[in-house]
Amino acid sequence: MSDTRFQAVLWDLDGVIADTGIYHCRAWQEIFSQMGIEFTEEHFMKHFGQRNDTIIRDTVKETISQQALDAIADKKEVAYRRLVADNIKALPGAIELLSSLHERGIKSAIASSAPPDNVRIILVGLGIEKYFGAVACGREVTEGKPSPQIFLLAAEKLKVEPTGCVVIEDAVAGVAGAKRAGMKCVAVANSHPGDKLKEADLIVASLESVSVDDLSRLYN
């Protein structure tokens, strides 16, 4: 049996707690279309879970200043929030698991590449702010997923050891980042098939099938 104690869950947001992927894709398509650039769903899925700067640089495929990059990213996020505002929907099992963790005294934090305003609109829209002891966003770190930085920051904010954290992710880059952080990882096959997420410690089709005891057993 491991001596490490299960202390916290670090949650990705998009595709794990809320079903938002289609609105991110549409926002990118809207902004890139204005620039005369085609942005397909395949391109979106290729970069799922990655930071805006990575997506923009790969899509524009030419040297772009930081100022121009930031402007594109800001326009995209404004478009996303407009599209998602009336369509905030929790994914099955997410809120129930958050509530169970809260009742058992297990800490939760958001570890998302999303900017703070995007996190806020989802947490407020679903009424789940009370469940989170910390929020770590992409702009607080210098490297996006699959770098472990965002997960290590979330653990630091919660004042827990990285080895005591379970990450819940749906993106290939997120799973890789969680493992690089030395954390356990549950992958939810909402956005990618399970065979793409095999680096995770546990792969599930839905959080409806996951209990607090299931997460705790990852340490046994």
The per-residue pLDDT for range 28-43, each reduced to its tens digit, is 999 999 999 999 999 9
**Tokens of residue 211, six digits:** 């209990």
- pLDDT tens for each residue of 81-93: 999 998 999 999 9
Is the CB of residue 150 less than 8 Å from the CB of residue 141? yes
What integer pLDDT is reported at residue 62 of this predicted model? 83
- State residue 3's pLDDT score: 55
Looking at residue 76, what is its pLDDT?
A: 95
Q: What is the pTM of this model?
A: 0.85
pLDDT of residue 2: 45
Low-confidence ranges of the chain (pLDDT < 70): 1-3, 49, 193
Q: In what order do the strands lie in the sheet with 184-188?
A: 134-137, 107-112, 8-11, 165-169, 184-188, 202-204
Residue 8 in contact with residue 183, Cβ under 8 Å? no
Quote the pLDDT of residue 135: 98
pLDDT at 96 (0 to 100): 98
- Work out the burial of residue 169: count CB atoms within 10 Å of its CB; fewer than 13 is exposed, 13-18 middle, 19 or more buried: buried
The structural domains of the chain, ordered by start, are: 8-19+89-219 (3.40.50.1000), 21-84 (1.10.150.240)
216 bridge partner residues: none
